Structure 1
Amino acid sequence: MNRRSFLTTTAATAVVAASGLPARAADPLKVGFIYVGPVGDMGWSYQHDQARLAAQQEYGDRIVTSYIENVPEGPDAERALTQLALQGNQLIFATSFGFMDATVNVAKKFPNVKFEHATGYKQAENLATYDARFYEGRAIQGTIAGRMTKTNKIGYIGSFPIPEVVQGINAVYIHAKKVNPDVEIKVVWAYTWFDPAKEADAAAALIAEGCDFVLQHTDSTAPQAKAQEAGNVFTFGQASDMIAFAPKPRVSSTIDHWDPYYIKRIGEALDGTWKPEATWGGIGTGMVGIGEISDAVPAEVKEEALALKDRIASGEYHPFTGPLKKQDGSEWLAEGATPEDGELAGMNFFVEGVSGELPK
C-alpha cells in the first residue's frame, strides 16, 4: 500500500467512525460439499450433511455453506467440484473415496481454494485428507454377531473392494471368530454406495444362504428393511444410527461423527491456520461412535462389547493384533504385533478364514 492509498483508507475509516455507522463486516467464508448419495439416505451422506448443518450453526453468518448431492464418482465429480469453485467457495469437502482423482485435478486448477477429501490418500498444498477408523466399530459388531448368531453365518454387503471396506470385513470376521470358532462370513459385493434395490437384493441373497446377521458398507436402510421382513435376522446401522429399526433387526450401529472435524477445519480456514493435513480418527477421538446396543442383545454380550469399545478407545487394544495370517495362509502379523497405518490404508487381502476371492 502506498502513502496515498493509506491516507485515503485512514480517512474513510475516520468518516465511518465519526458517523457512528458500523464498519463493513468481512465477507462470509463460502464452504461447499459434494455427496455421492442423497442427503436423505439416512446413512453416509446424511451424516455428512448433519455435520455441515452443525458447522453452519456453530459459525452463523461467518460462513455460507452449500452442497451438491447424488454426484456420481468420476467425471461428474470433477464437474461438480469445478462448479463449487467457480461459485466462490473457498473451502470444499469431497465426501466419497471415488472423488479422489477428481479432487486432485480440480485442486490443481484452483490453487487458492482449499480442498478436503474424505477417505482418500492423495494430498497437495491445498488438499487435505480425512478418514475414520470404521474397522474399530466393526470389531465390536463382530463380537456381538459372533456371540448371538444361531446359524453361525454372518453376511456382509460390500460396496467396493477398497481398503476401507476390506478392513471392515476382516475386523468383523476376526472378532466374531474370537468368540465363536464355528462362525463363517459371506460377502456379497453390491458395487454401489447407494442403491436401495441392489442393497435389498444383496441382503436377500445373504439371508437365503442362512445368514442371521447382515452387515453393510452401503448407505441406505434397504438391508434393514429386508432383515425386518425376514423376522429372524439382525443388522447394524451403517454410518448413522438407523434407530428407526431398533430394537430389532438393528441391534447397534457405527455412527460417523463428522461434526467436530468440520467445525475444527472450517474454524482453521476462518482464522488462517488451515493446513493440508491427513486425519484418521477413531473411537478414541470421537470420530467413530457406537450406537446404543438394544435390548435384543443379551446383557452379558452387551457388557463384553462395551468393554471392547473402551479398550479400543483407550488404545489398550488394536483390532488387528497378531497372530494373524492372510487368506492364503501366509504370515501377516506375529503374536502381539499390530500393523502400521500405511499398511492398513492399503489393505488388499482377506485374513485367513474369510471365504471367497477378493475382487481386483
Structure 2
Amino acid sequence: MTDASDIAPRLLAWFDRHGRHDLPWQHPRTPYRVWLSEIMLQQTQVSVVVGYFDRFVGALPDLPALASAPQDEVLALWSGLGYYARARNLHAAAKRCVEVHDGALPRDLDALVGLPGIGRSTAGAILSQAWGDPAPILDGNVKRVLCRLFGIDGWPGQPAVEKRLWAIAEGLLPSTRLADWTQAQMDFGATLCTRTNPACAICPLQDVCVARREGRIAELPAAKPGKPLPQRETRMLIVEDADGRVLLQRRPPTGVWAALWSLPQHEDLTEAQAWFERHVDGDLTAARPLPALEHGFSHYRLRIHPRRVSVNGLRATVGDNADLRWATRPDLDAIGLPAPVRKLLQERTE
C-alpha cells in the first residue's frame, strides 16, 4: 500500500525545482485567465496553447469582454486549436456569468460545474489556482499518475475507478500551496510520469510507486476498451471568383465545426452538383480534383475530397444569404476556420 502522507510535500519540492513557473496565465493569475487556460489545455499541449492564450487575452482581456464579443470573433481567435465546442461553451459561460454572477466566475464548485464546458476537474483547477481553495483535480495526467502510484486497475474512465481516484485525489490535498499543488500534479504528469517512457529513474516518488515496484508501469493505467475508428468521406468545393476570392459557408449551429466558416461540403457529387446549380453561376464539371486530405477526430476519421472551380459569382436568386460570404486571402487570417479547411486554402495559395 502506498503511503500518501508525504506525497504532496515531495511533489511540491520537485515542483519548486523543476515545475513550470513562467506560463502566461500565471502572471497575473486571475480567475478569468486560469479558466481560459484550463479550457484551452483540455486535450491540447502547453506548447501549443501559449501562443493562442496570448492572442486571445490580447483581444478579450476579461470576462465581460468575452461575453460581449461576437461569436465569430471568439471562434476566429480559437481557430486552429480544434475541439471548437470548447470555444462555444467558453463564450456561453461568459454570457451566463454576466447574467447571473455579476460578470465574474463564481467561487463555488457547484456553480462552476453548472456553467457550460466546466466539469468537476476544471472547476477544481480554477478554485485552487485562482483562489487557493482546497479542490482536487482529476485530468488525464493526474489519473495516470494516481493509477501508477496506487496500483489502480481498470480503465480510469469507468465510474467505479474514477470514483476511487477522486477519493485518492481528495485525500492527497495539502493544507497550503493549493495553486502550486494543482500545477505540480499537471507538470509531473506532463513532463515526467508521461504516458510512454516515463522518467522513473529520476522520479521523486519512485520508492512509493506500486507500478514501479510491481513492474506494471507499461500496463497502468489500463487502456480504454478499443474499437477501430470509422472512416467517413466528404466532398468540399473550393469555389473562386474572378478576383481570387473564395466562397465560404457557415456550418450549422450544432455538430462538427458548429458555427465555423468552412467550404461548401457535401456527402457526394450528386448533392454537390444540386447545391452548386442553386447557388453558383458556373460549371461544376470544370472543377479540378485535388489530392484527398485526411483529418482525425476523436471518434472517427474524415477523408476530404476537395475540388477547385472558378465561377462568375453567386446566382442572383441567392440574394443576401448570411451563411455565405466571399473571402480574400488576407480575410482568412481573421476568420474562424476548421484546421483542415485552413490547410486546404493555404495550399491553394502556395
Q: So what's the TM-score if we normalise by structure 2?
A: 0.26
More helix by share: 2
Give the number of the structure whose residues are more often strand, by fraction: 1
Select the structure with the greater relative contact order (CA < 8 A; seq sep ≥ 6): 2
